[in-house]
Structure formats: structure tokens, C-alpha cells
Amino acid sequence: MKADTVGGITPAVLVQLQPGEKVLAAHDIMLHMDGPVKIARKSLKHLGVSTAHLMSLRARGDSEDSYFFAEFEGPGNVTFSRDKAGEVRILQLAPGQGIRLRSGHLICFDETVRYNPMILAQWVIQNGQDQDTEYLFADELYGPGTIVFQSYGNILSFNLRPGEAMRTSTEGLLASSPTTSVNVGWLGAQMAGLMMNPKPILYLTGPGQVMVHSGV
Amino acid sequence: MQLETLKGIVPACLATLAPQESIYCEHGIMLYKDSTVGVGRKTIQSGGTFGAVKRSTVGGIPFFLAEFTGPGSVAFSRDGVGEIRDITLAPGEVLDVAEGSLLCAENRIPYDMFYVSGTHRPGRMVGFWMDRLTGPGSIALHGFGNVISMTLAPQEKVTCDYGALLFKSGSVQAKSLNLPFGGGLLGHLEAYEVLELIGPGKVALQSIDPKKPHT
């Protein structure tokens, strides 16, 4: 597929498909498509995601992604929009190259790309007497193929060397390489040995690429 | 009348009016005006009393339009991120504009509106209204997000999301369509409720659906 970004502040993605060429996209983000383009449903099971794995994710909470993708087959043009201000990135993944993308930001990808939903991080929030576990869901994608995603706000990219670390808020992380480890720590004012108003924060350790976005 | 776009992330439109020159707009979108500019009410004639009640109660469209008469300047804003397009209509040229997108139009442009029915299925029980404007004259529109323009050949079709349509030529047909998402009950339950546009004519799409709650 050939993908291009259209517009600036609230960009759309224009995908040009050759006859028989297919692209998978998140449900309900299509802006327009040409008459000859065909659509179908592609369940995650067809992409190799096991039902048990999906049920396990669902049991932990609701990620923003649906249990299926919309499949568009050429010839023709299709545009997608996430209806939000931000930047669109088009990545060509080499065979075996991977990326972990925050859930709800994927726009479309080639049918040759391997897809797997996952939990990138989790932490426990003390809510009075109760404990609530919160999850950071992600889409893990492996090449070969093209993927397109959108940030909310602007993207800041970092290349971490082996052992190099950085911190970001739990909302700020957009994407990271599978080689980058993601751990949860806590920030808060220390007072009399107790942490006041603790907030979770992500510790990212290289090697690998990390993208954070400015809008949440 | 002179129309000028005040560019920015949330753009506005500035109309400069000569003495006795008038423009109209939807009620409630004026940003500011010179004190010399007079304000009046322009009644919508289309559809009679029943049509007006249906538009305002079901469609949420204002009961009347606001009319501004020069001399002086008046600015309009749709309070949204996007682009403004100033369009000059040739004599007899018809342009259909999605509801909530017209910023202002010269008073000599006849104003009408019509309803595009939904598919009457879950997810799109109801349709939407479009403003119909006939040239000659100048108008200004607000497209939410970015605007993508295209020209359709006769019988050429594009399918778009309901909220994506910004404007179309009067010669372009718009009809609601249900696109099943594969076979079986699940395919029909998860179907796309879309708009099919059939040429010939101009079409412009916007990248933000203004009716989605998160925008």
C-alpha cells in the first residue's frame, strides 16, 4: 500500500491500494473510500490472536481497540481520520522489526504485518480500602510491512542506548521498541517516610526507540 | 462585501460590508461586530411552519438566521479547529453545505435546506440537514480539521463517513447506505452506516466529525 498524510493539524491518511491489495484499519475511522474499494471484517482470530489471549485482555479491562479490524481491498483510495489533532507517522517495518504502540492510536497496517494486542504495563492504585489495577494496553506489530499511527499532540522521539533510561508519564508514552523494557515506578512527596499522593510513572530502559506524545 | 479569513488553529472569518450591504449567518456564531453594523432576523421560508418545527425540534437547527447590514465589519467563528474556505458561486451554481458548517453568505444568495435521510437502522436512525445555497454570490464555510477536496466524474462514486461531508455540488447525489461488514449476523450488526456520493460535481470532506463527542 502507499500511504500519505493529508493536512496538518488534524491529519488524515490517504491510502492508495492496487487491485487485490489489502489494508487493515481500526473500525469506524474511515473518512471516505472510492467506489471500487471492498470492505470486510477481519477478526483478530484470523490474525493469529488466540481467543484465550483476547479474553484475558478483556477480563482485565477494556482496551480501546475492537475485536476485529476493517479490511479494505483495492483498487482505489481510502482515507482514515482519528478526528483528533496530532501527528501521523508512517513506518516501514523491516522483516522481524517490531513496535509496541499504545492502544487506540493505530490507524492502519499492511496485511503482511503481524499483530498482537498486549499489556505493556500495569500498576495498582490504592483507592481508600480498595485496590484498583490499571493497565496500559498496547498493539505489538512486527514487520515486514507498513504501519500508520497517530499521536495526540506532537511526537518526541528518543533512541536509547543499552542501559540508558528515561522516565515518562503513563499517559505520555506513545510507542516503544520491543527491546525497550517498561517498568512502573512512583512519584510523590516523601513525608515522614510515607509517600504522599503517589503517581505512577514509567521507567523506560534501552536499547530501542521511544516515542512520547504531548497530548493526552 | 469582502470576506477575509483570520488564519490560525481556530480560524475566524471577517466580513467587511459597504453601506446597506447585508450578509446572513446561523444564529449564535458572531464573534464581534462594529457598532455601525445593524442586526436583524432572517426567517427561513423553506418547508413552511411544519418544516421549521421539524428542523428546530428534531434537527436542532435554529429557527431563523441572523442578518447583518453594513457599513462596518463583522467576524464569525465556529469555535473549532479547522480551515475556512471562501467560495464564490457562479450564477445558478448550487452548493449544498453540511449543517453547522456555513459561516456566512451574501444576502442575495437564496437560502434553502433539505434533509438527507438515514438508513433507519440502528446506528443511523436519523439523517442530517444540509443548507442549499444558489449563486451568484460569496460564502464562507468552516471545515472541521483539514479539508480534502475532489471532483467526481459523472456516475463516479465515493463512500464517506456521515460527519466527513463538508459540502458538495448540487449535482452530486447523497444517499445513506449500509455496508455489511462481511457475512452473517455479526457482519450486519457491525455494518458501516455511510454516505454514498455520486457525481458529477465537487465534493469536500473534513477530517473531524464535528458531532463526535470527543471533538
On whether the CB atoms of residues A131 and A124 are closer than 8 A, the answer is: yes
What is the C-alpha end-to-end distance of chain A, expressed in Å? 29
Report yes or no on B67 lying in a domain. yes
At A114-160, the pLDDT tens digits run 999 999 999 988 777 788 889 999 999 999 999 999 999 899 999 99
Kindly indicate the confidence band of residue B74, based on its pLDDT and cuts at 50, 70 and 90.
Answer: very high
Report yes or no on B214 lying in a domain. no
Domain ranges of chain A: 2-213
At B88-115, the pLDDT tens digits run 999 999 999 999 999 999 999 999 888 8
Q: What is the mean pLDDT of chain A?
A: 89
- With 70 as the cut, is the pLDDT of residue A64 above it? no
Report yes or no on B112 lying in a domain. yes
- DSSP secondary structure letters along A149-211: EE-SB-EEEEEEPTT-EEEEETTTEEEE-TTSEEEEEEEEEEETTEEEEEEEEEEEESSEEEE
Contact of A39 with chain B, judged by CB distance below 8 Å, is answered with yes
Q: Which one, of A148, A144, A145, lies nearest residue A13 by Cα?
A: A148
Single pTM value for the model: 0.82
**Structural domain for B23, as ranges:** 2-206
Report yes or no on B215 lying in a domain. no
- All residues of chain A having their beta carbon less than 8 Å from the beta carbon of residue B179 are 39
On whether the CB atoms of residues A39 and A72 are closer than 8 A, the answer is: yes
Classify domain A2-213 by CATH number: 3.60.160.10
Report yes or no on B211 lying in a domain. no
Q: What is the mean pLDDT of chain B?
A: 89
CATH classification of the domain holding B85: 3.60.160.10
pLDDT at A142: 97
pLDDT at B54: 72
- With 50 as the cut, is the pLDDT of residue B215 above it? no
Chain-chain contact of A83 with B209 (C-beta, under 8 angstroms): yes
Nearest CA in chain B to A10: B145
